[in-house]
Each structure stands twice: as structure tokens, then as C-alpha cells.
Amino acid sequence: MIGGVGMTDAARTRPGLDVDVSLSYGPTRIAAAFAVRPGHPLAIIGPNGAGKSSLLAAVAGLVPLDAGTVSIGDRRVEALPPERRRIGVVFQDYVLFPHLTVRDNVAFAARMRGPRAAARAAAEPWLERYDLIALADRLPSELSGGQRQRAALARALAAEPDVLLLDEPMSALDVEIRGDMRAELATHVREFGGATVLVTHSPADAAMLADQVLVLERGMVTQRGTLDELRAAPATPYVRRMLAASEA
Amino acid sequence: MARTATPVTGRLAWPIVAGAVLALAVLVLPLLALVVRAPWADLPALLASSAVLEALALSFGTAILATAICLVLGIPLAALVARAESWATLPRRLLRAAVTVPLVLPPVVGGIALLTLLGRRGVIGEWLDRVFGVTIPFTTGAVVIAQVFVALPFLVFAVEGALRSSDRRTELAAATLGASRWQVFRHVTLPIVAPGVAAGGVLCFTRALGEFGATITFAGSLPGTTRTLPIASYLAMQTDPDEAVALALLLLAVSVVVLLTLRDRWLPGATA
Amino acid sequence: MPRASRPRGAAALAAAALALTLTGCAPTADQPGGSTSPSEPTGAAATGELGEADLTVLAAASLTEAFDALAGQFEQANPGVEVTVSYGGSGALATQVLEGAPADVFASAAEPPMQQVVDAGLVSAPEAFATNTLELVVPAGNPAGVTGLANLADPDLRIALCDPSVPCGAASVELLANEDVTGAPDTLESDVKAVLAKVSLGEVDAALVYRTDVLAGGDAVDGIEVPAAAGVVNRYPIAALTESPAPGAAAAFVAFVTGDAGRETLAAYGFGAP
């Protein structure tokens, strides 16, 4: 059973995520190794086409690996199908199920394991937590961008994943509301408390949402550290330009 | 946020308008002629005859059964065809051709093909007859098989189109939420393409209802058993063109009503 | 070569009508007079003085082989004339004529369809040119051991008959009634060739077709003569349509079919003299 009350049980020990993989993305070969501790989100940052989203999808099991390992705590998951990895994903522009209400979107994971009524009941605390009660009977097409983001997050976390992956969570939002939404998302990620990886091309996202940063350029890791460490010694022209642009 | 913006509707150039009007005339005028020519006064008597009602009931029964079979078989095939996008060119084209052929083939040829497969001396039919004593031609089952043969591509292409235009990432999202492949299909893929399935089912049904050539070739024509409405209409041409027109009108009315009501009920709104 | 087509269903009918329109239009465009030669058509038939003409003949399905041959002979005798024969159930063909299909000649397998066309004033003075009688037909080797008309009442046998609405079906009904046999058909086909096809494919055990069709069926079928069939004779009338765009050629074709050469060919295909 789901046990909605346990959802942000900080006392519960969350596993970390260890990734050491290589994969192909068109002609680009992506190779990256990183470890994420629970409660210390990692932001993967890099230019368009660097392979950030593919790397994230590979961790979730949505695209095949050429080689490597993905471990969650002491669980090796690289050979498991996505449905058995316990990795939650918030997709770029959210990919909510268009035919289901917000309630049924959030109840989806529970529905896969049990009857509809029980799944809906289990979704209730999550709807409440993410301020979705008033929107519960709406279809995703009737939501604003920010509401969709909350619904997508609730849907992913209601599955009680060990790991949360966020793919460009801000890119589908209007620029004016990004600041507020970023702060709200940061709160939710903290509450989740598990290992979290975020893909973005915005240093502002990384600053607000992550403790550490990994720079991916053309499939290769070119720098890693905190944002401050990157600022102090940018390893590549891209890192320098990116940080300069974000401060301008 | 709408994914596609509605473009400003410009005025069409006159050759386009002229062509469209002409095309519409080609489609609609013959049917209008049917309506104009119909023996309206005698229509009730013509249509209430037991032969007509028998043919109508047979047509409806077989077309409904054929549509059900097409749904059961066609949705998986549509999923395969949609997935074949990522295949090598040759197998992909072969698969697509296999689905398309019954669509472009004269139905009579389809009927002959069915006979050579399932007829009493057919590739499979000979064996069925010898081992089980089952012969398929001249049975109501043969009518249904002929209808499935000609109508299946309509369903497959409608569903395949819906699958292609749907966002495949919803399936990935479902997988990350613990859905097995079957659950993904059952809870995400299928409901999302439901409007396409409904549209395909309607097309499939009306095509099955209108099926003539493959049926008369493969199933024959016996009142109450294999003589469907189109066959009855064709035979009526031999003796009583008025009756033929009346039957044709009945078929037309049924098709139009089915297309109108089901489309309105199923197509829009489902994904709005 | 004569081009043969067998229209099926409304769509095919429409397509045929379109084809007929195209072929029918050609001569009027080429020759404003419509008819090529002012000379007597009978003379023209022998001498090839008909010039350029496209002739459309609507003929009963049972005439298929005989009219394919006749059309070929006629074309050979009249260079420049092209004959297109469209075969179908006589009733369906009559309807085509009534609906204004631009044909030149109509050959029916029975009187009633021709009478419809006469009543509409679209032909004058049809002429009988052949007769035909029914025969039992079975797949080669007679696998079901059919011996006579009585077998047609056997529900365990697969039996095909023509639909009563077409001439061969009307004749079948009459024959069976004369012999007090209650037929147990599994299918009532729209024309005699469809019945024959079901026999040649071995899909039915027995059927009634014209004796000419038994001949046309070749090695794939065997005929069983039915003495009583002599009592039910189909008479085939032919006539040129009054609205033919090529009346000279049309009349010449009718004269050819009803003449000695035509009769000889028809006899070779099993038809009786009128």
C-alpha cells in the first residue's frame, strides 16, 4: 500500500543515485559518471544538444545504454525496465495524460497497482499537498503552465519513487512566473528529500534548485562542482559565457 | 497552452474554389440524383417488404460483427504499423502495402482471393472441409469474412493515424509511473487514440455495410443467409430499378446517419 | 480485339457508363455526320466501308464467348471499326439502356428485358438470333455424383442457381417447376457466368446453366443433359438502339449476328437457331 502519510517521511532513509553510463545520441556519444546523495540535488547544465535530456532518459530507462551502471542505493537498476526502477520523472512540458483528470493523473501510479477507487483515495493527500484539490476534476488542457508543473510533480511523487528526475522543468513556463515557480519547486524538491537530478540550461535554476552542478558539453562532462566553484574557475568558454550571461 | 495555433484563414484562390466545388459536385450529385429519382410514393411499401427487411437485418448483423472483429484485430495491427516507422525500409513498406492492398483492390478480386484461400478447394478451405467438414463459402460467416477483409484497412489506418499524431512520451511517462507494457497500452495509448478508434470503427462499419463485390464472389447470394442489402439492391436492378433505387437510398440514409451521429458524438470533445 | 467488361454494382456501373461515354463520343467528334457512309449498311458490313466507328454492344453474360468471337470477326471484316462488348445480366443491361447509356446494340438473353427497352421506344423491331436451353453442370469428374435434376433438391449438396430475376434463373424456376423439383440452392447468383464460375472453382456440386456455358466452361466442368430442358427455351433478341451515334455500324453488326456467318459462329458455341 501507498501510505500517503509517509510521503515526506524525512526520517526514512532515502537511497542515493550512482550513475556511470555511456550511450549514443545520434552521432554524439554521451559518457557521464556522477553520484547524487539524497537531499542534495544535482543540476546537469549544458548547451542545447549536449545530450542532457538523453542522459536523464537513460537513467530512467527510457533510452538504451551502450554500457554502464545505474545504482539506487545498493539496487542495480540498469537492466530493469523503467516501470521497475522506482525513478520518478517530471518531463519537459510535463506530458500529463491528456485524457485523464488531474486527480486520475496523480492517481495513475496507484491505479497501476490497484482498483480505481483505492487509487483515487490514495491520490487525495497528494492533491492536497500540491494545492490541486480545486483543480482535481479538470483535464490537463484546462490548466495553466504552473498548475501543470504542480500536477506533474504530484503525479511523479505520488508513485513514491526513490529518485526524482526533472527535465527542464521551467522551460514550459512563461518567463514572468518562472521566479515564483522556481521557489515553489525548490520547496517541493526539498520536501521530497530523495536523490534528485535536474536538467537545465539555466544557471538560475541550478542556483535555486541544486547543490551541485555538472556541466555536459557534446556528451562529455567538462566541469563539476558547486556554482560558486564554477564561477571561480570556469573550465570552458561555455561555462564562462553561461555564467556571465546569467549575471548580466 | 495550445500546441497548434489557429492560422488566419486567408481567402482561397479561385482555381482552388472552383476545383473544390467541382469535386464536391462529383461526390454529391450522384447521391442527390438518387434522392430526386427515388420513388417516394412507393417507398414505404418497397422498403417494408420482407425481402428488404431480411437483407437489412442481415447487413446490420454482419456489419456489426465485422466491425467488432476489425476492432479486435485492427488495433493491434495499427499499433504495429505505427511502430514500424523505426523499421528498415523494405519490411516497413511491405507491411504498409499488405494493409493497403485490400483498400485499392477491386473487392471482387478480394472475393476470388478469399475463395482460393477458404473455398472448398482453397489452400486452407480444402483442409477445413476434409478434417472438420466445415465449408465457409455461402455461409453468413463468409459474408462477415469478406466484410472484414475489405473494411479492416479503414480501421487500421484511422487508428494508426491517431497513434502517430499522439504524443508517444505519454507512454514513457506511464512506464516511469510503474505501468507495464500492457497497462501502458490499456490505460494510456488506447484511451488517447479512442477518437481515432471510434472514427475508424464508423468507417469500418459503413464500409462493411456497403460491401458488395467480395461478398457476392465469396459468399454468394441467398436471401436471409448471404444476400445483404447491396446485393439485393444490385439484383433489383435486373427487374425493378425502382426497388433498386429505394434500396440504394436506404443504404445511403443508413450510412449518412451513422456517419453524422457517431462523428458528432465521438470525434470532437474527446480530446478537447 | 474486342474489349470485354462485366459491370458489377453501382460503382462499376458508373465506371462503365463513363467508359461508354468516352467511346460513344469519339465517332461524333471525328465524323460530324455520325454515320460514315450513306450506302446500305448490309453492303458495308461485307466491304469494310463503315470507316472509323466505335461500336458499343451490351450483351447478356451467356453470350460472352460467342460475342467475343463475333466482335473479332466483325472488326476483321470492317477495318476501322472497334467493337466493345459489355457483358452483364440482361436486366441490368436493360436498365443501363433505359438510363441512357450511350450504347449501339443490345443483345438480351430473354424477351422481357428487351421488351422494357422496346416499351421505352429505345429500339425498334428486335430480332431473335439464337436460342439456348439449360443443362446441369458439375465440377469436372462430378465429385458429388449428381445424376439428374432431382439432386438439386438435396440440401446436403452445394447448389448454385441463377437468381429468378435474370433470364437463366427464370428458366431454372420454370424447369424445376415443370419437373416438380423443389430446389435447395445455396446461392442465387446475379448472372449465369457467376454460377459457372462457382462450378469451375468446385465451390458448388451442381448448378443449372445454359448448355452454351457448359461448353464455355471447358475442362473444368462436366455437363449432364436434362431431357426436360428442351421444354424451356430461351430466345435471344438483338436490336440496334435508335439513339446510337453510329446507326450504320450498329445495324451492320445486328445484320452480321443474325446473318449466316453469325449463326454459324453462334452454333459453334452451342446456341440453337431461333
* Residue C5 domain flag: no
pLDDT band of B2, cuts 50, 70, 90: very low
C-alpha to C-alpha distance for C106 and C126, rounded to whole angstroms = 9
Number of C-beta neighbours around residue C85 at 10 A: 22
Cell numbers placing B104:
485499392
Is a pLDDT exceeding 50 seen at residue B145?
yes
Q: What is the mean pLDDT, run by run of 10 residues, along chain A of 248 residues?
A: 44 84 90 95 92 94 94 94 95 94 97 95 95 95 93 95 94 85 91 94 90 94 93 93 79
**Residue C209 placed within a domain:** yes
Residue reference for cell 478469399: B114
* pLDDT for C51: 74
Compute CA B130 distance to the chain's CA centroid, rounded to the nearest angstrom: 33
Determine the Cα–Cα distance for residues B95 and C196; give it in Å rounded to an integer: 36
DSSP bridge pairs for B212: none
Q: What are the residue ranges spanned by the domains of chain B?
A: 45-266
Q: Distance between CA B140 and CA B148 in Å, rounded? A: 13
Instruction: Give the list of residues 6+ apart from residue C193 with CB closer than 8 angstroms, or none.
Output: C6, C61, C62, C64, C87, C213
Q: Are residues C249 and C124 in the same domain?
A: yes
Specify whether C186 is located in the same domain as C62.
no
Cell numbers for B266: 465521438
Whether C246 contacts C106, CB under 8 Å? no
Pick the residue from chain A with its C-alpha nearest to B3.
Answer: A141
Q: Strand pairing partners for C223?
A: C137
Determine, for residues B212 and C8 on separate chains, whether the beta-carbon distance falls below 8 Å. yes
C274 inside domain: no
Instruction: Return the pLDDT at C16.
Output: 36
Interatomic CA distance for residues C110 and C122, integer angstroms: 17
Q: pLDDT at residue C245 above 60?
A: yes
What is the spatial distance between Cα B41 and Cα B242, in angstroms, rounded to a whole number?
A: 11
Q: Do residues C91 and C196 share a domain?
A: no
pLDDT tens per residue, range B4-47: 566 666 678 889 999 999 999 999 998 898 888 888 888 888 88
Q: Cell numbers at residue B59, please?
A: 447487413
| Domain total of chain C | 2
Q: Within this chain, do residues C39 and C127 fall inside the same structural domain, yes or no?
A: yes
Tell me which chain B residue has its CA closest to the CA of residue C14.
B30
Confidence of residue C11 (pLDDT cuts 50, 70, 90): very low
Helix (H) or strand (E) holding C221, with range, is strand C221-224
Looking at the structure, do residues C95 and C174 belong to the same domain, yes or no? Answer: no
Residue type, B241: P
Query: Is the pLDDT higher at C255 or at A5?
Result: C255
Inside any domain, residue C119: yes
* Mean pLDDT for the stretch of residues C250-270: 93
Q: What is the 3-state secondary structure (H, E, C) of A181-241?
A: HHHHHHHHHHHHCCEEEEEECCHHHHHHHCCEEEEEECCEEEEEECHHHHHHCCCCHHHHH
Q: Are C37 and C75 in the same domain?
A: yes
Asked if the model's pLDDT at residue B175 lies above 90, the reply is: yes
User: How high is the pLDDT of residue A238?
Assistant: 93
The ipTM assigned to this model is 0.90
The answer to whether C80 touches C111, Cβ cutoff 8 Å, is no
Residue C166 sits in a domain of what CATH number?
3.40.190.10
Residue C145: inside a domain, yes or no?
yes
Of C9, C13, C203, the CB nearest to B230: C9
Q: Contact B220/C160, CB-based, under 8 Å?
A: yes
pLDDT of residue C61: 87
Close Cβ partners of B74 (under 8 Å, ≥ 6 residues apart): B152, B155, B156, B159, B200, B204
**Are A88 and B176 a contacting pair at CB < 8 A?**
yes
What is residue C31's predicted lDDT score, i.e. its pLDDT? Answer: 37
- Which residues, in sequence order, are bridge partners of residue A167? A199
**All residues at 6 or more sequence positions from C184 whose CB lies less than 8 Å from its CB, including other chains:** C152, C153, C154, C155, C157, C159
Q: Are residues C139 and C127 in the same domain?
A: no
**How far does C90 lie from chain B, in Å, by closest CA?**
7
Q: How far is CA C213 from CA B9, B171, C192, C210, in A?
A: 63, 61, 8, 5
A touches C, CB cut-off 8 Å, minimum 3 pairs: no
C95/B120 CB distance under 8 A: no
- Residue C37 pLDDT greater than 60, yes or no: no
Q: With respect to residue C160, please indicate whether it lies within any of the assigned structural domains.
A: yes
Q: Which chain A residues contact residue B178 at CB under 8 A?
A: 83-84, 109, 112-113, 159
Of C13, C189, C201, the CB nearest to B115: C201
Contacts of B176 in chain A (CB under 8 A): 60-62, 82-83, 85, 87-89, 156, 159
Residue ranges of the alpha helices (H) in C129-259?
Answer: 167-178, 192-200, 211-216, 247-258
Please tell me the predicted confidence (pLDDT) of residue B6.
Answer: 60
In this structure, the answer to whether residues C120 and C158 fall within a common structural domain is no
Q: Which chains have 3 or more CB–CB distances shorter than 8 Å to chain A?
A: B
* Residues C141, C263 share a domain: no
Same domain, C77 and C179: no
Residue type, B252: L
Give the per-residue pLDDT at A246: 75
Chain A residues in contact with B187 by the CB 8 A cut-off are 108, 111-112
Does B121 contact C158 at a Cβ distance shorter than 8 Å? no
Residue C9 has pLDDT above 80, yes or no: no
The domain B45-266: what is its CATH number?
A: 1.10.3720.10
Please give the span between the terminal C-alpha atoms of chain C, in angstroms, as a whole number.
Answer: 27
Q: Supply the pLDDT for residue C48.
A: 56
Q: Which pLDDT score, from 0 to 100, does residue C8 have?
A: 40
> 3-state SS of C22-42?
HHHHHHHHHCCCCCCCCCCHH
Residue C169 lies in a domain: yes
Report the percentage of chain C scoring pLDDT > 70: 82
Alpha carbons C54 and C36: distance in angstroms, whole number: 11
Model confidence at C260: pLDDT above 60: yes
The DSSP code sequence of C169-189 is HHHHHHHHHHTT-----SEEE
C174 and C252 fall within a common domain: no
pTM of the entire predicted model: 0.76
pLDDT at C12 over 80: no
Place of cell 462477415: B144
B238, C165: Cβ pair inside 8 Å?
A: yes
Q: What is the pLDDT of residue B85?
A: 84
Reported residue count of chain A is 248
Q: How would residue B160 be classed by pLDDT, with cut points 50, 70 and 90?
A: very high
Tell me which residue range forms the domain holding C86.
12-131+235-268
Residue type, C178: N
In angstroms, the CA A58 to CA A213 distance is 19
The distance between the two most distant Cα atoms of chain A, rounded to a whole number of Å, is: 55
Taking CB atoms and an 8 Å cutoff, what residues of chain A touch B272? 141
pLDDT at C145 over 90: yes
Extract long-range pairs of C151-154: CB within 8 Å, 24+ residues apart.
C151/C205, C151/C206, C152/C176, C152/C181, C152/C183, C152/C184, C152/C185, C152/C206, C152/C208, C153/C181, C153/C182, C153/C183, C153/C184, C154/C184
- C158-217, pLDDT tens digit by residue? 999 999 988 899 999 999 999 999 999 999 998 888 999 999 989 999 999 999 999 988
> Which range among A59-68, B105-114, C25-34, C80-89 shows the weakest confidence by mean pLDDT?
C25-34
Measure CB to CB from residue A155 to each of B172, B177, B272 and give the nearest one: B177
- DSSP state at residue C57: E
All residues of chain A having their beta carbon less than 8 Å from the beta carbon of residue B266 are none
Chain B positions touching A96 (Cβ under 8 A) are 173
Q: Which of B46, B30, B53, B50 is nearest to B240 (CA)?
A: B46
Please check whether residues C108 and C201 belong to one and the same domain: no
Cβ-contact C132, C266 below 8 angstroms:
no
Strand partners, C56: C84
Q: Which residues in chain A are closer than 8 Å to B188, comparing Cβ atoms?
A: 97
Q: Under a CB-based contact definition with an 8 Å cutoff, are residues C28 and C34 in contact?
A: yes
- Do strands A87-90 and A28-36 pair parallel, antiparallel, or not at all (unpaired)? unpaired
* Conformation bin of residue A95: beta by default, left when phi > 0, alpha when psi is -120 to 50: left
Instruction: Report if residue C82 sits inside a domain.
Output: yes
